Chains A and B, each alone.
Chain A
Amino acid sequence: MYEIDPDRLDLAREFRDKPFGRHSGELQRVINRMRAGSNAGRLVLVTLERHKRWGLGRMGAQPGDPIAPVPGYEFTSYEEAEWAVFKLRWQALTGRELALD
């Protein structure tokens, strides 16, 4: 299992600057680790206003379970949402808060 190195802030910066598209091989490993695994508790976007605003939610344990809202998040772009989730997953997987300059 690939382990994310919490000191590799360069990878976090790379993602923040370009969440979609071609990534370095090492960043892709980070992303793959974050996106892999079970759906239970997976962070997802919940449309608040079509094409304009999104909130955050978590999938349930079983298919068909409702999406549980994660309060305190509202995004106005997909890029913003990807970055917020990246930081949450970084902390969950490394135990360290992701803080960039």
Chain B
Amino acid sequence: MLEILGYGDRHSLRPGDRLQVKVSCEAGAPRFHAEVVRMICGDDSPAGPGYKDQPIASPANGGYPARKQPLDTGSAVLVPASPLFDRLQSFTLTALVWPTTPGRKPQTLLARWSEPARAGFRLGLDATGALALDIGDGKGGFAAIKADRPMRERAWYRVTARFDAGTGLVRLSQQPLAHLARDDSGSEVEAILRIRPQAPADTPFTMAAHVTGRRGAKVLLGGHYNGKIEAPRLAARVLQDGEIETLRAAIPPALAKDVAAAWDFSRETPTTRVVDLSANRLDGETVNLPTRAMKGAAWNGEAMRWMDKPEHYGAIHFHDDDLYDAGWETDFEVPITADMRSGVYAVKLSCGERYEQLAFVTFFVLPPKGKTTAPVAFLAANATYMAYANSHHGWDDVLAEICYGALLEFGPTERTLNARRELGVSTYDVHTDGSGSCHSSRLRPILNTRPRYSLWNFGADLHIIDWLEGTGQAYDVITDEMLHQEGLSLLQNYRCVVTGTHPEYHSLAQMRAVEAYLAQGGRLIYTGGNGFYWRIAWHPTLPGVIEMRRAENGTRTWIAEPGEYHLSFTGELSGLWRNNGIPPQQLVGIGFGSEGFDESSWYRRQPGSFDPRVSFIFEGIGKDETIGDFGAVGGGAAGLELDIVDPRQGTPPHALVLACSELHSNVYVITPEELISTYPGIDGIEDPKVRADMVFFETPNGGAVFSTGSIAWAGSLGHNRYNNNVARITGNVLKRFIDPTPL
């Protein structure tokens, strides 16, 4: 297990900025050491170029006292304490709920409950999945009442607790909304209680969790619920069933004086605010970004977009492993000085000599705003790094081994992520209740965006950095996140932009910026595969978090529910860019076609490579030369995820197919969006579409695109100390793309 964890407050910095670094030593080390390095190559495998960094003289370098920092995982809603809650005597508490893990553990739905004082009221599910109400007076008095049967998983229920302070009568009701034959999961129970709920005055009202204590000003929560809640209501008297039903969408005037709060989750969906419709304005805030824009009990398919019929999207889906901002204390800051030239950096954190005692906080230094310091920009795919942050799908998914074509391997990082689910999930994972994870944040320790780990995404992209450094090519580093924020202005002064190996996730602003850059004569080298694939949104106001929905089709590790394809952050349709008007083939000539992970292959030149328009690309390359039959990733330049041309998806008619890969294995299979139906013969042996296409085409105003169509390409750049035909082809393209002469 890893013994030191850390993260920074930002990925993207410029000279003059300061990176706040947050560290936790997990195994009792008294001190840790920090060293700022410029990253050259993260590949410490025997087949690779070797790990390389350059120490940076930084005032942040040195020893620091260690501590263990907490991870408070699980989403909820907090409504600040109010005297209105204190004045409650009799009450009705009701909501629509759709539990996803009833019977797994006790879970809290709606509460004003202090666990340390065992005081207040808490409506939830007991260990069997039955509705349960706890009441405590804070003086040792405690009562519990439970429904006599569990609720069904993923079924809507009206749950209600009614308490008459005058008589002590409490009535509990769980009623399924669906009218199914032989469904006996409804339950009504009642009891007379002698005690009255009385929570400490500073106790907030909570949803999907309850208060377990405080750490400084922070309210700590426990008893997290998995599932949806919709339309929670709190009334200051016992309501009748008919009255409760009238509260489903609004507050009738006749009940206005009695309704303490009626929260409408369909309001202000993109935000963290939870709106109370009552005159009391007991608005709340979500904690750890539960998933909003979720279908409610009334959804019937009339609307597929939450903006079109908000009343059908009044649910929030809570998860006990949601985590947005770990909120760790800062241990030290790294000033970004003017002499830290643009590049990929990391803070090496160590609390000992072993692999488990070493962590990397990675970050990217951009040139000063509005300036370039090199003709080439490397576009670090930090949206993709975030989408995969702390992913578990590589072993949780039962298809992992059969897709990888190799045994799963558990090193210290995998063992830590497997055991410590409180580190949160990636957009590849399902939550503990099996629902897809729509969000991923960088404001938490991220264990898989680091050197000396896998040759995937960040680790693989460093092969390109290594090649740029090794060949003496000056370059700047920019990021997806800043491209989203600054648009075309971030690209327009570069002669050439080089992507990473797997630039998979993009917002509309990112895509539009790349489109505009190419339209004005920019040059793009896409040295990867499966690029420009999924549509995401960055949160409009919250830093460092993306949202995506695995909609419609595509190679997916989970599937969004019908009607939940639109992003809560922006209302945009998520899913594939192919389905969103900007297919990757239109942007870079090729789009995702197949994947496999056991062994990489090579390319053969195609007739297009002999066109005089591209003679510069093949300078020094033999007519029959096999391209890339070597490399650190699977032993070849064509591997992992492969892209192909498709004129019907937008490959420009003048695009030249320069080379194609061949002879991929049985493990490589066509991606689902390419299949009109299921049929045999779609693997690398039988289907000719299992290949990578290398393409070139000119764009207006003298620009051009060169795409390799393979994630493994960059793993071959460093072979034989950059003296190989993959490096030569890439270098030929880069040299010409830097030349301002129009293409």
Contacts and interface: CB of A to CB of B under 8 A. Distances in A.
A21 B408 contact: no
Contacts of A91: none
A51 B598 CA distance: 17
A59 B395 contact: yes
B421 interface: yes
A62 to B, nearest CB: 10
Contacts of A51: 44-46
A22 B685 contact: yes
A44 interface: yes
A63 B396 contact: yes
Interface string A19-54: 011110100100110011111001111110011001
B407 A47 contact: no
Interface residues of B, number: 31
Nearest to A55: B410
Give the secondary structure class of B's interface: loop
Contacts of A44: 395, 407-410
Contacts of A50: 44, 355, 411
Interface stretch (A2-10, A77-85, A93-101): A77-85
B127 interface: no
Given A20-B599, A22-B663, A37 B411 contact: no
B103 to A, nearest CB: 14
A57 B599 CA distance: 24
Nearest to B598: A20
A72 interface: no
B307 to A, nearest CB: 35
Contact of A39 (B395, B598, B663): B395
B666 A22 contact: yes
Interface stretch (B134-142, B238-246, B270-278, B397-405): B397-405
A57 B410 contact: yes
Interface stretch (B334-342, B412-420, B517-525, B702-710): B412-420
A39 B421 contact: no
Nearest to A38: B398
A82 B407 contact: yes
Interface in B655-675: 663-666
A67 B418 contact: yes
B714 to A, nearest CB: 19
A71 interface: no
Given A23-B666, A50-B355, A39 B410 contact: no
Nearest to B404: A35
Interface residues of A, number: 32
A47 B392 contact: no
Contacts of B474: none
Nearest to B398: A39
A91 B541 CA distance: 57
B684 interface: yes
Given A35-B401, A39-B396, A50-B355, A78 B406 contact: yes
A82 B409 CA distance: 11
Nearest to A18: B599
A25 B666 CA distance: 8
Interface string B407-441: 11111100100110100000000001000000000
A45 B394 CA distance: 13
A14 to B, nearest CB: 12
12 contacts: A20-B598, A22-B685, A32-B402, A39-B395, A44-B409, A46-B410, A46-B415, A50-B44, A51-B45, A63-B421, A64-B421, A82-B406
Given A21-B599, A44-B408, A81-B407, 9 more contacts: A22-B665, A22-B684, A32-B402, A35-B401, A44-B410, A50-B411, A51-B44, A64-B418, A82-B407
Nearest to A46: B410
A25 B665 CA distance: 11
A23 B401 CA distance: 16
A67 B401 CA distance: 16
Given A20-B599, A51-B45, A85 B665 contact: no
A63 B437 CA distance: 15
A82 B415 CA distance: 20
A21 B598 contact: yes
A81 B684 CA distance: 24
A59 B397 CA distance: 12
Contact of B398 (A25, A37, A54): A37
Contacts of A81: 407
A15 to B, nearest CB: 12
A25 B680 CA distance: 12
Q: Nearest 10 pairs between A and B by C-beta? A: A47-B411, A21-B599, A35-B402, A45-B409, A28-B666, A44-B408, A35-B401, A20-B598, A22-B665, A20-B599
A20 to B, nearest CB: 5
A43 B407 CA distance: 8
A85 B219 CA distance: 49
Nearest to B429: A63
Interface in B45-75: 45-46
B224 to A, nearest CB: 15
B416 to A, nearest CB: 11
Contacts of A46: 409-410, 415
Among B355, B401, B407, B409, the one with the most A-chain Cβ atoms within 10 Å of its Cβ is B407
B665 A23 contact: yes
